Structure formats: structure tokens, C-alpha cells
Structure 1
């Protein structure tokens, strides 16, 4: 597997990152280990998790199942030094029995109102919990999982700087964040000598958000412009294939993931994906992953989160796809 520099740190990470959100819940431990082993077999090393994964899957859960599984896997094969390990804090909601309905369905509206946030003590405690579950004394990358507008950025950034100085974190990242906040973070870091986040993890794919779509989590044109001008921050793209909606028209119809994309522009870009994928001899999902990995302005690092072994294997051929300049131009120019 090829590598990509993280920001301007000099550190090389896998060109395709593996998300462990569903590991230990929707994905059984046995299948999770098979996926992790296979990822290492093909040269992958960039693993991504979070302290909140997956509180919503089980009533009264406080998350941490994914971190615990990764900890067991790393200890079993003495693998800690073989991986670049990322986790996140701030998005675990405060406990309430009302977080789950009678049928076990999570109440996301309540969860979003009660996220733990990015206060100094909250982050210190959250990171210590993550390190304990992961069985390590440091993480390579630590994200603010959900940007916290209620806590002064100075408090958050100073606390994170202290955790970097203490050796518990190598690099910082931010997720689900608007562009104006990234610029404010940059200014504060420069003025105070605090470490700048080197990774920005956002939802990003080949389809473009439709006009009027409002989400701090999805990369838009302004954020792409910002990241082009600031190559010291790498775009880590989660949900790069949008739950696999490129696979078929039937899957796209009515799929909740399409709510922010559906329209003439999306239709035109899906048609371009299907055309080029047929030329190259890959699936549309594989084509989109390959397109993302060949972006240079800004550079994009796709983060896949397979639920099954087959979903993981379906993504692997994208690593070998080489698109021509003409094909890239055609894909880039497609749209209504």
C-alpha cells in the first residue's frame, strides 16, 4: 500500500485508512480481527476509532467497545508499534436512560444536545479512558470528534497542547467542523505556540452537497479552497462511498445518505462514475475511492469503515486503479 504524508509532519501514513467504528458490535470480534489482519497483510497501518463507538448499539452502553477490541488485537500480536493509531473524544453523550427508546433505538437528537464536549478536564479524562482501553501510553492522532461551540477554543487548545507535551498524543485533528473555526484554531495556535491540528476529518465523497445543504460535517467548496491553501492539514474523508450508494440506482433511491446530495448534479456525476468505472473495469464504489486517493489539491485520505469482510475486500482493488489525466478531467468536470 502506498503512503501519504500527514499534513507537513514528515510522518507517512497509509493511503487508505481503516475505520473501526463497528468493530465489536455490528462486526463480530472474529470478523473484526480478520479485517484487521487482512488490512495489515496488504500494508495498511492507519487505524481510526473513537471513545464513543458504539454507545448507540446497546442500551446503557458507554461506548469504548471498538477501542477495547483494538487493544486486545494489538496486545495479541504485539502490534502497537506497527500501526498509526487515531482516536477521538468529545462526542460521547452524557448518560441518560432516555438515550434509548423502549425498542432500543437511540435518540440522536438528545445525544447531540448532551455531547461531552471539549472542556479541558473532559478531554483529559476521555483520553485517559481511551489509553486504558487501547492498552497504550499514547495515541498517534487525537481528534476533537464534534466541534464544541460552547467551550472557549483557548481552553480546548491549551488542554490539547498539554497532552501533546505530556507525550500522550503525537498529533492533533479536528472533525465535523466549519471552515471559519479551522481558521480561528489556526490563528490561536500561531499566537500561543500551540500545536496545530494536522488532520481534518470530514464527510467527503465524489458527489457534491446540493445547494442549501447545511452540515458542518460535509466538505463544501469553501472548505476545499481552504484546504488547498493549507497543505499542513490533510483531509481525512469519512463515508467516502456514502454507504455504497454508487453501487446501484435502487440503493440511491430513498437512501438517507442521499438527502444532502440528490439532484441533477448528483445524477450527472453518478453517470460519469459509471462510465469511467466501466472503462477501467472496476465497480463505481472502487472508482470513487481511487478518484479520492488521486486528488492532489487538496490531498485526500479516504477512511473506509467496512462492516463485513466482503465489504473490506470489495474496497481493496481501488488501491491498484490508476486513472488517466483525461479520465480525471472528465470526472472533475462532470455535473449539472
Structure 2
């Protein structure tokens, strides 16, 4: 797997990141180890988790993913670039669970009311807990998981900078954030000589959203901003939109599709199918390769070994110019 520079840090990471959200809950330990071993064996090194993963799973409270990764990385911590997050830990688990409905929809306002937030005290407490669970003395990339407008940015940034200066965190990032806020965050950090974000993590895929503008999905404004700020990399979660590029029946039934359904997506899905057929690849593999080609660092979050195995060929899938043009011009 090729390596790409993270922002303008001089730090190179694998061009596809392994999302470890489900490890320790939906994905059991033997399967998690098998996936991690295969990813590292393929040249991957960029691991992504969070202190709240995966509180929504049965009998889980959050922290399960970090705890399992801590066990799986013993003796090989130096082989990985490790990212985790703060601010979306759950303070009221029953209320958060009640906001997730059986039909797959989520009352996000209800969930967000239970978030721990990004105050200095939370950051300083939670980084220690994450370090302990992960079995490490430092975190390579520490994200603010959900932008917290109730806390002054100066407080959050100063606390994060303190962690960097103390050697507990190497780089910081932000997730699920509006473009104007990201600009403010970056400007404040640079003006005060604080650690500035080197990555932003939001949902982004080959399909373009047609639903309501939300801070968790990359829109045209954020993509334009990023094109002018190469010191901030785009790490894209839900890069395959839960696999809808290859499963039409699932596509129509999943809530994810509601943000993308329309003629534009129909045309782009047809382009993916055409390119996949020409290359003997799957639609998911083509969508992932397209993101990599355009300088995005996509996250994959396989729940099963079969999911991982079906995605892995995309790590080295090349898109010839004539087929890339089909995708770009759809």
C-alpha cells in the first residue's frame, strides 16, 4: 500500500486507514486480529478509533475498541500511526440508547445532549483514559470528535496544545465540523502558536450528497477550502456508504441512501458499474480507489473478515485515465 503525507507534517501514513470502531463489540477479538494482521501485512499503518466506540453495541459502554487495540498492538505499537478521538463520549447511556431507533434512524440531537464535550477538563481526563486503554504513552493523531460550540475554542485548543507540548499527542484534528469553524480553529491556532489541525474527518464518498447540508458530510464548500489548505488532510469515514455501491437492494433500504438518492447519484452509480466491469473489480473497490486517486485518505470499517477481504483489492487498484475520466465526468 502506498503512503501519503498527512497535511504538511512530513509524516507519511498509509493511503487507506483502518477504522476500528467495531473491534471489541460487533467484531470479535479473533476476527479483529485477523483483519488487523492482514491490513498491516498489506502495508497499512493508519488506525482510527475513538474513546466512545462502540457504546451503542449490546452490553457496551464505550472504550471497547481502544481496549482491544491496546491488546492487539502489544509489541508492535511502533508499526502503526494511531488516531483516536474525544468529545463524543456518552454521559447518559440510557438517554443515548433511547435516541437510536430500531428502524436505523437516530435522533442525533438526543444523542448529542449526552456528549462529554470538548472542555479542557474533559480533554485532560479522557486522554489519560485513552492512553491507558491503548497501552501507549502517546497518541499520534487526536481528534475533537464532534465540534463543541458550548466551549470557547481558545479553551479547547489550549488544552490540546498542552497535550502536544507534553508529548502525549503528536498531532491534532477535528471531525464533524463546519468549514467556517475549521477556518476559525486553524486561524486561532496559528495566531497563538498552538498546535493546528492537520486533518479533518467527515463523511465523504464518490457519490455527492443531495440531502440537507450537515457538518458531518463533506460539501462543496469544505472541499474547496481543503483544496486551498494542503496542510489539512481529508480523512473520509463512511467512504463506501456501508457498501451501497454493490448492493442495490440494500441501497434502497438503508437510511444512508436518503442523503444521496437522486439523478446525480444514479448517473455516478452507472459510471462506477461501467468502470468496475471494465476492470473486473467491484463497485466498492472502484469507489475507494477513486477517493485515493484524489488525495483523500478513506477509512474502511469492515465488520467481518469477508468484508475486509472484499475491500482489500482496492488498496492497489489503479484507475486508467480513460476510466478515471468516466468517473470524474459522470
- TM-score, structure 2 length as denominator? 0.96
Structure 1 residue 325, shift from structure 2 partner: 1.9
- In structure 2, relative to structure 1, the CA distance for the partners of 1:82 and 1:96 (3 Å cut) is closer
Distance in structure 2 (CA, Å) of the matches to 1:324 and 1:103 = 43
Distance in structure 2 (CA, Å) of the matches to 1:98 and 1:322 = 46
Q: Which residue of structure 1 lines up, in the alignment, with residue 215 of structure 2? A: 216
Q: Which residue of structure 2 lines up, in the alignment, with residue 79 of structure 1? A: 76
Structure 1 stretches of 4+ moved >6 Å: 102-107
Matched residue pairs, number? 327
Structure 1 residue 327, shift from structure 2 partner: 1.7
Structure 2 residue runs of 5 or longer lacking an equivalent are none
2:315 is paired with a residue whose SS is helix
Q: Superposition RMSD on alpha carbons, in Å?
A: 1.7
Which residue of the other structure, out of 305, 315, 321, is the alignment partner of 1:319?
315
1:128 is paired with a residue whose SS is helix
Write out aligned runs for 1:68-107 (5 A): 68-75=67-74, 78-101=75-98
Structure 1 residue 58, shift from structure 2 partner: 2.8
1:301 pairs with 2:293: no
Q: Which residue of structure 2 lines up, in the alignment, with residue 144 of structure 1? A: 144
Structure 1 residue 99, shift from structure 2 partner: 3.3
Distance in structure 1 (CA, Å) of the matches to 2:144 and 2:232 = 14
Distance in structure 2 (CA, Å) of the matches to 1:194 and 1:175 = 18
Structure 1 residue runs of 5 or longer lacking an equivalent are none
Moved more, 196-205 or 251-260: 251-260
Structure 1 residue 188, shift from structure 2 partner: 0.3
Q: Which residue of structure 1 lines up, in the alignment, with residue 258 of structure 2? A: 259
Q: Which residue of structure 2 lines up, in the alignment, with residue 173 of structure 1? A: 173
Moved more, 33-42 or 91-100: 91-100
Q: Which residue of structure 2 lines up, in the alignment, with residue 54 of structure 1? A: 54
Structure 1 residue 103, shift from structure 2 partner: 11
Structure 1 residue 109, shift from structure 2 partner: 4.2
- In structure 2, relative to structure 1, the CA distance for the partners of 1:4 and 1:277 (3 Å cut) is same
Distance in structure 2 (CA, Å) of the matches to 1:102 and 1:166 = 38
- In structure 2, relative to structure 1, the CA distance for the partners of 1:28 and 1:104 (3 Å cut) is farther
Distance in structure 2 (CA, Å) of the matches to 1:128 and 1:93 = 17
1:217 is paired with a residue whose SS is coil
Distance in structure 2 (CA, Å) of the matches to 1:329 and 1:182 = 31
Q: Which residue of structure 1 lines up, in the alignment, with residue 126 of structure 2? A: 126
The answer to whether the 8 Å contact 1:176/1:201 transfers is: yes
Structure 1 residue 70, shift from structure 2 partner: 0.3
Structure 1 residue 280, shift from structure 2 partner: 1.1
Write out aligned runs for 1:7-26 (5 A): 7-26=7-26
The answer to whether the 8 Å contact 1:21/1:50 transfers is: yes
1:243 is paired with a residue whose SS is helix
Distance in structure 2 (CA, Å) of the matches to 1:107 and 1:231 = 35
Distance in structure 2 (CA, Å) of the matches to 1:187 and 1:11 = 22
Distance in structure 2 (CA, Å) of the matches to 1:259 and 1:91 = 24
- In structure 2, relative to structure 1, the CA distance for the partners of 1:330 and 1:104 (3 Å cut) is closer
Distance in structure 2 (CA, Å) of the matches to 1:107 and 1:294 = 35
Distance in structure 1 (CA, Å) of the matches to 2:107 and 2:223 = 32
The answer to whether the 8 Å contact 1:62/1:95 transfers is: no
Distance in structure 2 (CA, Å) of the matches to 1:45 and 1:274 = 30
